[in-house]
Chain A
Amino acid sequence: MNGTGKLIKLLVRQNALKITIWIISIVATTVSVAFAYGDVYKTKEELYGFALTMDNPAMKAMLGPGYDVEKYNLGAALATEMLLFTAIAIIIMNILFVSSSTRKDEEEGRLEMIRALPTGRLSYLMASGIKILMLNLLLSILTGIGLGLVGLEGVTWESSFLYGAILGATGLCFAGLTSFFAQLSDTSRGTSSLSFGALIVFYIFRAIGDVSLEGLALISPLGWTVRTGVFVDNEWWPVLALIVTGVIFAGLALYLNIKRDINVGILPTRSGRERALWYLKTSLGLTWKLERNSIIVWTLGIFLMSAAFGAILGDLETYFSDMEYLQAFLPQGDETDMTQRFITMLIQIMSIFTAIPAVLTILRLKKDEKLGLMENFYSRALSRNKVMSSHTIIAFLSTIIMQGSIGLGLYLTSIGVMEQNLVLGNTMVEVFIYLPAIWVIIGLSLLFVGTWSKGSSLVWLYIVFTFIVLYLGNLLDFPQWLNDLSTFNHIPEISQDLINWTPVYALSALALFLGFVGFTGYNKRDIQ
């Protein structure tokens, strides 16, 4: 354990900017949403109206079991809408930080240098563990203080800190899990894929569990996250359970880390082919081979999530038709409308997920350039247009495959459970109409890679922005121009009889234009 203290300082200094951005954006979002709630629900009736719209299977599947309508307060509304998604954001942060400071540093040879110094065998892993512990602790405390200061009705200091603690504990649980996966896989990519896979599986377990089978939700850490009844019942056991699970996995990681050699994983690696298969001999084939696993995993994950939501559409329909008194609280509602509105929101959220592997594919151009891989192409008879097109084609195809799997997932599991079955054709149109919005994001990525590759991480910021606009835009009362900056905001709603196709064409044209500028810039600039 020698030198752990110094290594912690090193790790913190290395990631200082990222840590600051993550913490500020998470705490600021939580606090500003809490602040907004005070204005939105001024009367008890309005609050109950919100509670009733949340108390249905679809919302339970998406956000957790929620609260009894009678016990509702503003804090409960906040937790229902924000807790799980914030926790997921924190989980993503933990997965990224842990896989980078464990397996990635090992893979890229930095750990070797550290180990050659007089440091203990476990020092680096311990240091990265302590760093992540401090990070989550800081996040918990700041969130707690922030919420306490906003002082919503029904929000005590204890419950504010509980809310922060759940977030931090969920983060720690997945940090432990990721450090465990870092011992199994021998690449950082493998580590984060396993971790994100676990996140998706746990989310689906919790979704099904919260709707119909509570036992299933209880074996998922995310199921614990949503079971504190924070702001109403204030149970602390889930926080404890999450931390204990995290510590157990971190312990396993330390144990496996001692047992294994440097640069190898516990999972076996197979010996490969001596010759390349036919398709691998082109830059398009290579891009496909490099992105294949990631696209398959994302497609499967998004398909399973859509299927899980498709399966509860029946419950949702029944629920809305049973609850006649609910209609009183809703502005313009008959029951198909409610179900339809839920489907639309679901597709919008999933479409943002679709953009992620596509952007990863485009940004590989930049990442591989930094790793010195691009000179393998450009010192041979390959043009920049060809290499960039390979990535663009794979990204483009992946958006179609993934949107298709959203539609298919929703449709297949909804057959039979709904009174008024979905029509496959309509569902597909409804899903594919979001493609141009995603293509603009691909275009934006190309623009960055071609003209300002240093700034290309800003694309991720944009994706987060579209999500915030979609999910919180109305609540936070953004001005119209800000909402309009999100491409998804321009896609027409298909439930109306007359679809206005103009924005769809306009977005496609914009995507083409951005892509064109990106290609032109890429041809003109130096390759590192």
Chain B
Amino acid sequence: MNFVEIKGLTKKFGKFTALNNIDLSMNPGEIYGFIGPNGAGKSTTIRVLLGMLKPTSGQVTIMNKDAWKDAVEIHKRVSYVPGEANLWPNLTGGEVIDLFLSIRGNSSQKKRDELIELFDLDPSKKCRAYSKGNRQKIALISAFASESDLYILDEPTSGLDPLMERIFQECVLNVKKQGKSVLLSSHILSEVEKLCDRVAIIREGQIIEKGTLDEMRHLTRTKVTVSTRKTLDGIENIKGIHNIAQSSNHLEFQADTEEIGKIISYLSTFEILKLECSPPTLEDLFMRHYEGNHSSKGDK
């Protein structure tokens, strides 16, 4: 059994199928990225993991316990940060953090105070007076001040400034160093790219891609920029080359990753002056699926 195991999860709200046969597994000690467009089912999956929604069918376990039935038991070892921290308007930030830590158990006062300092939060203000970013800090402080084995973070940095985002990333790497696991759902792809070991992409309630970033890159195209001494010609006929764009002194195209060797040897016959190959960013991967989404909709 894996640390987190989702098998054949389907969740329906009435006639609407929010999640369709999802499979996902996480190993202990890994940071797992979870990305997808708005409304794809990320938060629904997370709410099933947290035992707030009951699966229509399928099996969801965390640390070998059933996510729905043993929710309370599981949550003693889980920290969660929602994308939008909804708090009681008439309690202060400090009061809310203390409440959360005491419900959670095994958390340290010292850590709490350090994190409040680190995230630069004024805990004496009432929650209604906090900005979105400051409310988010409260959720982050409560999560990282308690001792957990799994951190479930649902777009945790929405509303944070870049400085705070960096502190957040340090916190995540810090818990990873201690061998903890993190499920990170995010729209900030550079963040996922920087932190995550493995990634799953969800679209319209289905997982359409998962694996390590390297594996996923393999399936896609590399961007190549080249300039040569001799005039490049005949390149349109080479297998695996797409989207050629000519500019004054160089040529740009996309190359299928598995054909890259043959392409380079063809290019070298024209005396290469400069050659840049950049692997696809997560954004490219994501956009490709996202655009695919649009065209498939157009087909219907």
Task: Spell out A's residues near B (CB within 8 Å).
Answer: 107, 186-187, 269, 271-276, 280-283, 286, 289-290, 371-373, 375-383, 524-527
Contacts and interface: CB of A to CB of B under 8 A. Distances in A.
Given A286-B99, A371-B86, A379-B80, A275 B53 contact: no
B52 A282 contact: no
Interface string B83-121: 010111111101110111011110000000000000000
Contacts of A378: 50-52, 71
A418 B269 CA distance: 117
B80 A380 contact: yes
Given A373-B86, A381-B103, A275 B125 contact: no
Contacts of B84: 372
Contacts of A371: 86
Contacts of B8: none
B7 interface: no
B54 A526 contact: yes
B103 A276 contact: no
B248 interface: no
Given A271-B125, A274-B92, A376 B87 contact: yes
A378 B74 CA distance: 11
Interface string B71-82: 111011010101
Given A283-B103, A377-B103, A526-B53, A383 B98 contact: no
Contacts of B53: 526-527
B124 A274 contact: yes
Contacts, number: 105
A273 B88 contact: no
B128 interface: yes
Interface residues of B, number: 39
Contacts of B92: 272-274
Given A376-B100, A379-B82, A526-B54, A187 B90 contact: yes
Name the prevailing secondary structure of the A interface residues. loop
A272 B125 contact: yes
A269 to B, nearest CB: 7
B105 A289 contact: no
A381 to B, nearest CB: 4
Contacts of B152: 379
Nearest to A264: B129
Contacts of A380: 75, 80, 100, 103-104
A271 B124 contact: yes
Given A107-B128, A376-B86, A527-B52, A382 B94 contact: no
Given A271-B124, A283-B103, A373 B95 contact: no
B72 A383 contact: yes
B103 A373 contact: no
Given A376-B86, A376-B100, A526 B52 contact: yes
Nearest to B75: A381
Most chain A CB within 10 A, of B87, B103, B126, B128, is at: B103
B123 interface: yes
A380 B74 CA distance: 9
Interface in B209-244: none
B288 to A, nearest CB: 33
Given A286-B99, A380-B103, A527-B53, 16 more contacts: A187-B128, A271-B124, A271-B125, A272-B124, A272-B126, A273-B94, A273-B95, A276-B95, A280-B91, A280-B95, A372-B86, A373-B88, A375-B80, A379-B50, A380-B104, A527-B52
B56 to A, nearest CB: 10
A381 B95 contact: no
10 contacts: A272-B91, A272-B124, A272-B125, A273-B95, A274-B92, A372-B82, A375-B50, A376-B100, A526-B52, A527-B47
B72 A289 contact: no
A384 to B, nearest CB: 9
A94 B168 CA distance: 48
Given A271-B125, A527-B52, A375 B90 contact: no
Contacts of B54: 524-526
Contacts of A283: 103
A281 B98 contact: yes
Given A271-B124, A271-B125, A276 B98 contact: yes
Interface of B: 47, 50-54, 71-73, 75-76, 78, 80, 82, 84, 86-92, 94-96, 98-100, 102-105, 123-126, 128-129, 152
A280 B129 CA distance: 20
Nearest to A525: B54
A281 B72 contact: no
A283 B103 CA distance: 8
Nearest to A524: B54
A280 B103 contact: no
Nearest to B50: A379
B82 A375 contact: yes
A379 B76 CA distance: 10
The 8 closest A-B pairs by CB, nearest first: A276-B98, A272-B92, A281-B102, A372-B86, A379-B80, A274-B94, A276-B95, A527-B52
Contacts of B95: 272-273, 275-276, 280
A107 to B, nearest CB: 7
A107 B100 CA distance: 24
Given A272-B95, A272-B124, A274-B92, A382 B72 contact: yes
A273 to B, nearest CB: 6
Given A272-B95, A526-B52, A526-B53, A382 B103 contact: yes
Contacts of B96: 276
B98 A373 contact: no
Contacts of B76: 381
A239 to B, nearest CB: 39
Contacts of B105: 381
A267 to B, nearest CB: 14
Contacts of A271: 124-125
Most chain A CB within 10 A, of B91, B94, B98, B99, is at: B99
Given A280-B95, A375-B52, A379-B75, A274 B123 contact: yes
B211 to A, nearest CB: 28
B229 to A, nearest CB: 59
Nearest to B73: A381
A280 B98 contact: yes
Contacts of A286: 88, 91, 99
B123 A379 contact: no
Contact of A276 (B73, B86, B99): B99
Contacts of B73: 381
Contacts of A186: 128
Contacts of B124: 271-274
Most chain B CB within 10 A, of A272, A372, A378, A527, is at: A272
A526 B152 CA distance: 19
Given A269-B126, A381-B72, A276 B50 contact: no
A106 B126 CA distance: 17
B103 A187 contact: no
Nearest to A285: B99
B149 to A, nearest CB: 13
Contacts of A377: 103
A271 B128 CA distance: 12
Nearest to A275: B94
Most chain A CB within 10 A, of B86, B104, B125, is at: B86
B234 to A, nearest CB: 58
Contacts of B47: 375, 527
